[in-house]
Chain A
Amino acid sequence: DQQVKQNSPSLSVQEGRISILNCDYTNSMFDYFLWYKKYPAEGPTFLISISSIKDKNEDGRFTVFLNKSAKHLSLHIVPSQPGDSAVYFCAASDGSQGNLIFGKGTKLSVKP
């Protein structure tokens, strides 16, 4: 039983358009959410995070939206660039433990 779910294993978007990556969670105790980006043969790199007291956090082209009632968060990338092509992992924490619970990832392909 996965606590963090990324139901789309892959997503293909045209350069310049919006990429929307979705993530659902089941544990209502999660209070902090992160998105990591992973290129092949590299470790995940932190992208953006959001606390449960907020519903939106923006950093440049990246915006994360949190809908607590729906236990859903999404990552928006606007405009998408070919260099954004990577696997994106959603992760969550309930603060009681140090470890993060990760989703399986969504592979984003941005086509020129």
Chain B
Amino acid sequence: GAGVSQSPSNKVTEKGKDVELRCDPISGHTALYWYRQRLGQGLEFLIYFQGNSAPDKSGLPSDRFSAERTGESVSTLTIQRTQQEDSAVYLCASSLDSGPYQETQYFGPGTRLLVL
């Protein structure tokens, strides 16, 4: 079926505004991850959802960042009161399961966020 999709593909916002990014994982994938990549940097883990378990929020950089996922479907990443340092590509990935055996993560195309 279709791969991971993300929307919007690009977002330009003003400092202080809230933004919401959306991720549609591959159907049947129970695990969903958010990463970001700032310019010249590697991928930085933000948050991870596994089924109905409480999400692992250990990578969220501040309390301005939050994410939700309904069941095993769509996830939204919300950034409140955006700052210029939030400018990055936000990548979503999904995998079949994240149990004892690492499953391959499949990435979406990303949302390019620019905070002016």
Chain A positions near chain B (C-beta within 8 angstroms): 2, 4, 6, 32, 34, 36, 41-46, 49, 89, 91, 93, 95, 97-105
Q: Using known A-B contacts A102-B42, A104-B42, determine if residue A93 contacts B91 with beta carbons closer than 8 Å.
A: no
A44, A98, A105: residue with the most chain B Cβ atoms closer than 10 Å:
A98
CB of B65 within 8 A of chain A?
Answer: no
B43, B58, B107: residue with the most chain A Cβ atoms closer than 10 Å:
B43
What is the bound-complex CA distance between A93 and B43, given in angstroms? 14
Q: Which of B40, B48, B107 contacts A97 (CB 8 A)?
A: B48
**Residue contacts A-B, CB under 8 angstroms, 14 given:** A6-B42, A32-B102, A36-B107, A44-B107, A49-B102, A89-B42, A91-B43, A97-B56, A97-B98, A98-B31, A99-B45, A100-B105, A103-B42, A105-B42
Question: Within the complex, what minimum Cβ distance (angstroms) separates B103 from chain A?
Answer: 9
Pair B48/A98 contact, Cβ less than 8 Å:
yes
Question: Within the complex, what minimum Cβ distance (angstroms) separates A79 from chain B?
Answer: 25
CB of B61 within 8 A of chain A?
Answer: no
Interface size band for B: 20 to 34
Chain B positions near chain A (C-beta within 8 angstroms): 4, 31, 33, 35, 40-45, 48, 50, 56, 58-59, 91, 93, 95, 98, 100-102, 104-110
What is the bound-complex CA distance between A32 and B42, given in angstroms? 18
What is the bound-complex CA distance between A2 and B44, given in angstroms? 11
Q: Using known A-B contacts A98-B31, A98-B56, A104-B42, determine if residue A93 contacts B48 with beta carbons closer than 8 Å.
A: no
Contacts of A104 in B (CB 8 A): 40-42
**Nearest A residue to B98 by beta-carbon distance?**
A98
Contacts of A45 in B (CB 8 A): 106-107
Question: Within the complex, what minimum Cβ distance (angstroms) separates B58 from chain A?
Answer: 8
Contacts of B109 in A (CB 8 A): 41-43
Question: Within the complex, what minimum Cβ distance (angstroms) separates A72 from chain B?
Answer: 17
Question: Within the complex, what minimum Cβ distance (angstroms) separates A21 from chain B?
Answer: 14
